[in-house]
Amino acid sequence: MDTLLSKVDSPRDLSGLSPAQLEQLASEMREVLCNLVSNRTAHFASNLGVVELCLALHTTFDFSRDRLIWDTGHQIYPHKLITGRYHEFGTMRTKGGLMGYPNPNESDYDLFMTGHAGCSVSTALGLKSGDDLMPGQSDRHSVAVIGDGAFPSGIVYEAMNNTGGLRKKLLVILNDNQMSICPRVGGLGEYLDRLRVNTFYTGLKGEVLKVLNKVPLLGDPVERFLAQVKESVKAGLHGGMLFEELGFRYIGPVDGHSIPQLRKYLSMVKDVDGPVLLHVVTQKGHGFKPAAEDPVYFHTPAPFTCEQEGVVAFKKSSSRAYTDVVSAAVFKQMEANPRVTVMTAAMCQGTKLEPIRDAFPDRFFDTGICESHTVAFAAGQAKAGLRPIVDIYSTFLQRSYDQIFQEVALQNLPVTFVLDRSGLTGPDGPTHHGVFDIGYMRLFPNMVVMAPADEVDTRTMIDFAIEHDNPVSIRYPKATAETIEGARTPIELGRAEVIDWGHDGMIIGCGTLVTNCIKAAAILREEGLDVGMINARFIKPLDTETVLRALTTSPFVVTVEEATLMGGFGSAVLEAATDAGVSAAHVRRLGIPDRYIEHAERTEQLTELGLDVPGIAQACRQMAEKRNIKSTDRRLVS
Ligand X SMILES: Cc1ncc(C[n+]2csc(CCOP(=O)(O)OP(=O)(O)O)c2C)c(N)n1
Segment near ligand X (CB under 6 A); pick from 9-17, 116-124, 286-294, 594-602: 116-124
Residue 117 near ligand X by CB under 6 A? yes
Phi, psi of 97, deg, nearest 5: -95, -165
CB of 309 to ligand X, least distance (A): 25
Segment near ligand X (CB under 6 A); pick from 174-182, 320-328, 374-382, 450-458: 174-182
Site map for ligand X, 279-318, x if CB under 6 A?
A: -----x----------------------------------
202 vs 208: CA distance, rounded Å: 11
Phi, psi of 257, deg, nearest 5: -115, 10
Among 100, 102, 147, 388, binds ligand X (CB under 6 A): 147
Among 143, 181, 389, 419, binds ligand X (CB under 6 A): 181
Nearest residue to 507 via CA among 613, 583, 351, 596:
613
What dihedral do alpha carbons 19, 22, 27, 30 form, nearest 10°? -140
Residue 558 near ligand X by CB under 6 A? no
3-state secondary structure 526-571: HCCCCEEEEECCEEECCCHHHHHHHHHHCCCEEEEEEEECCCCHHH
Among 25, 54, 150, 262, binds ligand X (CB under 6 A): 150
Helices (H), 61-107: 77-81
Our measurement of the distance from residue 192's CA atom to the centroid of its chain's CA atoms, rounded to an integer in Å, reads 24
Closer to ligand X by Cβ: residue 180 or 516: 180
CB of 304 to ligand X, least distance (A): 19
In this structure, the strands spanning 497-500 and 531-535 are antiparallel
Q: List, as own/partner pairs, every contact residues 328-334 make where C-beta atoms lie below 8 angstroms and the sequence separation is at least 24, other chains included.
A: 328/459, 329/458, 329/459, 329/462, 329/463, 330/356, 330/389, 330/391, 330/418, 330/462, 331/355, 331/356, 331/359, 333/389, 333/462, 333/463, 333/466, 334/359, 334/360, 334/363
Would you tell me how many other CB atoms lie within 10 Å of the CB of residue 100? 27
Would you tell me how many other CB atoms lie within 10 Å of the CB of residue 445? 10
Among 30, 67, 74, 352, binds ligand X (CB under 6 A): 74
Closer to ligand X by Cβ: residue 280 or 616: 280
Among 32, 76, 174, 179, binds ligand X (CB under 6 A): 179
DSSP single-letter state for residue 423: B
Residue 148 near ligand X by CB under 6 A? yes
CB of 114 to ligand X, least distance (A): 9
Residue 76 near ligand X by CB under 6 A? no
Closer to ligand X by Cβ: residue 52 or 148: 148
Among 41, 59, 60, 75, binds ligand X (CB under 6 A): 75
Q: How many residues bind ligand X (CB under 6 A)?
A: 26
Q: Are residues 524 and 617 in contact, defined by beta-carbon separation less than 8 angstroms?
A: yes
Residue 116 near ligand X by CB under 6 A? yes
Segment near ligand X (CB under 6 A); pick from 58-66, 113-121, 228-236, 237-245: 113-121
Residue 352 near ligand X by CB under 6 A? no
Residue 228 near ligand X by CB under 6 A? no
Nearest residue to 500 via CA among 634, 615, 606:
634
Segment near ligand X (CB under 6 A); pick from 177-185, 312-320, 523-531, 563-571: 177-185
3-state secondary structure 278-331: EEEECCCCCCCHHHHHCCCHHHCCCCEEEEECCEEEECCCCCCEHHHHHHHHHH
Closer to ligand X by Cβ: residue 302 or 582: 302
Which distant-in-sequence residues (6+ apart) come within 8 Å of 6 by Cβ? Answer: 86, 87
Q: Are residues 275 and 172 in contact, defined by beta-carbon separation less than 8 angstroms?
A: yes
CB of 282 to ligand X, least distance (A): 8
Handedness of CA 300, 455, 492, 337 (dihedral sign): positive
Closer to ligand X by Cβ: residue 401 or 501: 401
Question: Of residues 390-409, which lie at the interface with ligand X (CB under 6 A)?
Answer: 396, 399
Among 99, 171, 369, 462, binds ligand X (CB under 6 A): 369
The yes-or-no answer on residue 284 being catalytic is yes
CB of 4 to ligand X, least distance (A): 25
Closer to ligand X by Cβ: residue 155 or 481: 155
583 vs 551: CA distance, rounded Å: 8
CB of 191 to ligand X, least distance (A): 15
452 vs 476: CA distance, rounded Å: 7
Burial class (CB in 10 A: 0-12, 13-18, 19+), 243: buried
DSSP 366-381: E--S-HHHHHHHHHHH
CB of 266 to ligand X, least distance (A): 18
Segment near ligand X (CB under 6 A); pick from 142-150, 158-166, 482-490, 560-568: 142-150
Catalytic residue among 371, 407, 455, 497: 371
CB of 159 to ligand X, least distance (A): 15
Closer to ligand X by Cβ: residue 391 or 455: 391
Q: Are residues 584 and 553 in contact, defined by beta-carbon separation less than 8 angstroms?
A: no
DSSP 157-203: HHHHHHHHHHT---EEEEEE-SBSSSBP-SHHHHHHHHHHTSHHHHT
Segment near ligand X (CB under 6 A); pick from 135-143, 345-353, 418-426, 456-464: 345-353
Residue 329 near ligand X by CB under 6 A? no
Closer to ligand X by Cβ: residue 72 or 333: 72
Segment near ligand X (CB under 6 A); pick from 3-11, 146-154, 483-491, 504-512: 146-154
Closer to ligand X by Cβ: residue 103 or 546: 103
CB of 97 to ligand X, least distance (A): 21
Among 68, 229, 346, 547, binds ligand X (CB under 6 A): 346
Nearest residue to 64 via CA among 107, 106, 103:
107
Closer to ligand X by Cβ: residue 432 or 459: 432
Closer to ligand X by Cβ: residue 284 or 503: 284
Closer to ligand X by Cβ: residue 63 or 393: 393
Which distant-in-sequence residues (6+ apart) come within 8 Å of 612 by Cβ? Answer: 516, 603, 606
Site map for ligand X, 32-51, x if CB under 6 A?
A: --------------x--x--
Residue 72 near ligand X by CB under 6 A? yes
Handedness of CA 254, 256, 261, 265 (dihedral sign): positive
Q: Are residues 394 and 437 in contact, defined by beta-carbon separation less than 8 angstroms?
A: yes
Catalytic residue among 67, 128, 249, 399: 399
Catalytic (active-site) positions: 284, 371, 399
User: Footprint of ligand X on this chain (CB under 6 A)?
Assistant: 46, 49, 72, 74-75, 115-118, 147-150, 175, 177, 179-181, 284, 345-347, 369, 371, 396, 399
